[in-house]
Amino acid sequence: MNETPLLSIIIATKNREFYCIEAIKSILAIESHELQIAIADNSDSEKVKDFIDTLSDHRIIYKYDNSPTSSIENFNRCLSLANGEYICMIGDDDSVLPVILDIAKWAKANDVDSISSNSLIQYYWPNAYIGFDNGLLIYPLIESKIKSIDSKKIIKKLVADGIVNHYSYSIPRTYHGLVKRNLMNTIKAKTGSFYGGLSPDIYSSFALSSLVKNHYEFSLPFTIAGVCAKSSTAENLIGKHSGELKDMPHLKNKPDYIWDKNIPQYYGVYTTWCESALKALSDMDEKELYGKFNVYPLLAIGILTNWKYIFKITIYKSEEIRKINNINFIVFWSKIIYNMMIQIRVRVSRALNDKFYLKKSKITNVKNIKRAIAIISKTKQYLKRDNIFNHVGNIIY
């Protein structure tokens, strides 16, 4: 591309060729030269490459490399391909809505560093999970609102809360969010790479927290979170993302990785997130913030969410943390039990809120993500997207 695009959608993919191709099709349906797709493909086959070769679309920047590569390195490779003013990272079974360009234009006009959404559109691909054999689309029925957010204050609170419910906090995100690319360049200049740790989305959120000055939260989603049969979301529902640290797929092709000593050494969703968050704070020299990390909520939710699969491991590894820090047995486990009660209350409250207060629409028999986008784009809240920016609030959290 001769001109710098406004927005780069970045996709790091491996062995999910069908979904990646469908995601590419759905994004290219947005006819704009201001949009770019950057794809780093580490698949065993060249199916995606062969598909892209048939398109001859200048908006696609693509690199195929099937050599042994860690997932984090593939994300770094992907972002290095992109040159848009703003970037948005999605999974290879996800997509974006056309409104994302309107939001990126508004961000540029107002010199906004980052934008995230506090609501989620979910698309379950056919056969992604029992009961969703023909596809399911779930989207919130919300009014368009925009809030200015003090992301540094939010990050401090999140660290004090054990970094266990990060999706409930309005923090900067490259994953399903918008971020100025030059901020990611700053992170690379300081740490040596765009993404570190083991979870690129969490690492970048915490690394960005020390750089972002102008962050906004939209109530209107601008991406679609896909769940396919091979996705981590679907696998997590059946306990596949838990076990011994040595069996952790994130560590494949990363033999020299040093796990943070403050995080219990077992493979779990929450331990992965928290470890990457602390790694980002350490890499960005945020020593004061790093020191405020509260491990008890993490230990509590780790035991609660993994009791069915690796209960003994979570108990044993929690005890290791206690012994390393020389904490009294009764004090230590009393705090964990207290935090377990808090996490149960949070989960019950969230479930009740989701069931009785958050209005959502569920549509079955949605065979592909392009159809999901067509449905969303015809809803009232998106047909009136020109009015989005009339609802900017001055609330600073």
Question: Residue 109's CB: how many other CB atoms inside 10 A?
Answer: 9
In a domain, 7, yes or no: no
In a domain, 112, yes or no: no
Phi, psi (degrees; rounded to nearest 5) at 179? -145, 140
Q: What is the mean pLDDT of residues 21-33?
A: 96
| pLDDT band (50, 70, 90) for residue 394 | very low
E-only strand ranges, the chain: 7-13, 35-41, 60-64, 86-89, 95-96, 114-117, 122-124, 136-140, 146-149, 178-180, 215-218, 223-227, 242-244, 266-268, 360-364
Domain encompassing residue 259: 239-353
Task: Calculate the CA 300 to chain-centre distance.
Answer: 22
- Note the pLDDT of residue 138: 93
- Note the pLDDT of residue 390: 62
In a domain, 161, yes or no: no
- Note the pLDDT of residue 356: 66
- Note the pLDDT of residue 255: 84
3-state helix, strand, coil in the chain (%, to 5): 45, 15, 40
Tell me how far apart the terminal alpha carbons of the chain are, to the nearest angstrom.
Answer: 39
CA 153, CA 147: separation in Å to the nearest integer?
Answer: 15
Give percent of the chain above pLDDT 90.
74
Work out how many domains the chain is built from and give that number. 1
3-state secondary structure 110-146: CCCCEEEECCCCEEECCCCCCCCCCCEEEEECCCCCE
CA 24, CA 92: separation in Å to the nearest integer?
Answer: 9
Question: Per-residue pLDDT for 239 more than 60?
Answer: no
Closest listed residue to residue 42, CA positions, set 69, 10, 82, 78: 69
The angle, 0 to 180 degrees and rounded to 10, between the axes of the packed helices 200-208 and 181-191 is: 90
In a domain, 301, yes or no: yes
Each residue's pLDDT tens digit, 30-43: 999 999 999 999 99
In a domain, 297, yes or no: yes
DSSP 294-305: -HHHHHHHHHHH
Contact of 8 with 83, CB cutoff 8 Å? yes
- Note the pLDDT of residue 240: 59
Higher pLDDT residue, 397 or 52? Answer: 52
- Note the pLDDT of residue 354: 73
Q: Which of 40-44, 164-168, 285-289 has the lowest mean pLDDT?
A: 164-168
In a domain, 269, yes or no: yes
In a domain, 384, yes or no: no
In a domain, 123, yes or no: no
Question: Per-residue pLDDT for 123 more than 80?
Answer: yes
